[in-house]
Structure 1
Amino acid sequence: MPLHSIARLISTMLYGKRFFPYYVYNILGGVDEQGRGAVYSFDPVGSYEREFCRAAGAAQSLLQPFLDSQIMFKNQLPVAARPIPEPGTMTVPEVLRIVTDSFTSATERHIEVGDGLEMYIVRVPGSAASEVQLQSAVEATGGEDTQTPGATVVLRRELKKD
């Protein structure tokens, strides 16, 4: 089923319960028909939007501004030595570093966030996701063959060691 169809299905389900809503803020991520990454965010009554990056949950107010700055490059002035890159052009290791850093900061400020991070990486044929370094992960799983295109790799990392 195409990703945009799943997004529409979630929207319809949430809208159907609008008078007695679930009060959840869903985020759907995956790969679209063109082989590009896609993130859809939903409000409790079913409105949805496709975005480059989105945070939800207890530390959303901390994470979203950080992601806007580091991934969307909002509120940054270009420097002659280093122009601002286009959103969506970061390598997988760079994205993993930013996500890990943002959640590490959130664990220091919100007790509800927890001390562990679980990231799902979907490998796309011809993408740079095959370059993911798994050495720093606490655990990496993905079935029999994690190098197969379309395989999902789960990275679990401990964020805080007291």
Structure 2
Amino acid sequence: MHFNPIYENDVLKFNTPLSESFSPYDYNGGTVVAIAGADYAVIASDTRLSSERIIYTREQSKLFQLSEKSIIGFSGCWCDVLTFTRLLESHLQHYRLQNNKIMSTIAIAQATSTMLYYKRFFPFSMQTVLAGLDSDGTGCVFGYDPLGHYERCNSQSLGSGGRFIRPFFDNWISSESRSCAHIASMELDDAITIIKDAYISVAERDIYTGDNVEIKIITQEGINGDTFKLRKD
């Protein structure tokens, strides 16, 4: 701890203490959303990687494909994201070599939770969402907290802009204020349109979200991608 130097009558005195703190984390922002349907799952993220008012790159993907039926997305401290994905991909490869098969989306969800909980005393500073298809071909989305707790839901919005999108999703997807019949009949094109509208809106309110949006669509036929541009200022 240091003290703040002040001068009184040309005499140097030390009065108010100044404290110094150190954080091993850096917040690199970004927004990740996902929607699960009857036979599809959609996950999307913006491509801006920044720190406070500095933009490091406008072309950074925050989505990582784990299998033909599952994709994971992150927001937060980017060095933690890279470390965790390296460990997770190593775990999936070890499972494939031992069992001669690809880990299912549900199993990946549990493995992700276990790996996050293992670091509970020095947790990864990131927000995580997993999207994919289960063994029945039904879309599923899993949202996590930093300690590994997770839940299956039909939509998720995380990251710096997640708090702006959540009420929008509650209204249109999670049947919080709309009839379940509307949700059950939601087609893939409708889900993509909702995601695009949400990102266009949040880019006006969150400085950490912008530039481009990367969308990944997971169906039984495979994984397809789409991108569209956001504001860059």
TM-score by length of structure 2 reads 0.53
CA–CA distance in structure 2, aligned partners of residues 50 and 86 of structure 1? 20
1:158 correspondence with 2:232? no
Mean CA deviation greater in 92-101 or 67-76: 67-76
Deviations 1:100-125 (A, max 9, x none): 0000000011111012111000122x
Aligned to 1:27: 129
CA–CA distance in structure 2, aligned partners of residues 119 and 9 of structure 1? 24
Other structure's SS at 2:231 match: coil
Deviations 1:9-29 (A, max 9, x none): 011101000000002221000
Unaligned ranges ≥5, structure 1: 77-82, 125-148
CA–CA distance in structure 2, aligned partners of residues 32 and 84 of structure 1? 21
**Quick one: which amino acid aligns to residue 29 of structure 1?**
A
CA–CA distance in structure 2, aligned partners of residues 75 and 122 of structure 1? 27
**Quick one: which amino acid aligns to residue 204 of structure 2?**
E
Q: Going by fraction, where is strand more abundant, 1 or 2?
A: 2
1:101 correspondence with 2:203? no
Aligned to 1:71: 173
Unaligned ranges ≥5, structure 2: 1-102
Aligned to 1:123: 219
- How many matched pairs? 131
**Quick one: which amino acid aligns to residue 169 of structure 2?**
L
TM superposition shift of 1:99: 0.5
Instruction: Point out the structure with max Rg over C-alpha.
Output: 2
- RMSD (Å) for aligned C-alpha atoms: 1.7
1:27–1:42 Cα contact (<8 Å) kept? yes
Aligned to 2:106: 4
**Match runs of 1:57-68 below 5 Å:** 57-68=159-170
Aligned to 2:157: 55
2:172–2:183 Cα contact (<8 Å) kept? no
Other structure's SS at 2:185 match: coil
1:114 correspondence with 2:210? yes
Aligned to 1:128: none
CA–CA distance in structure 2, aligned partners of residues 115 and 107 of structure 1? 9
1:90 correspondence with 2:161? no
TM superposition shift of 1:86: 4.6
**Quick one: which amino acid aligns to residue 193 of structure 2?**
R
1:52–1:87 Cα contact (<8 Å) kept? no
Deviations 1:27-60 (A, max 9, x none): 0000000001000011000101000000000101
**Quick one: which amino acid aligns to residue 229 of structure 2?**
E
Aligned to 2:119: 17
Aligned to 2:39: none
2:116–2:148 Cα contact (<8 Å) kept? yes
2:133–2:219 Cα contact (<8 Å) kept? no
CA–CA distance in structure 2, aligned partners of residues 27 and 154 of structure 1? 17
CA–CA distance in structure 2, aligned partners of residues 53 and 67 of structure 1? 7
Query: Identical aligned pairs, as a percentage?
Result: 34
TM superposition shift of 1:160: 3.3
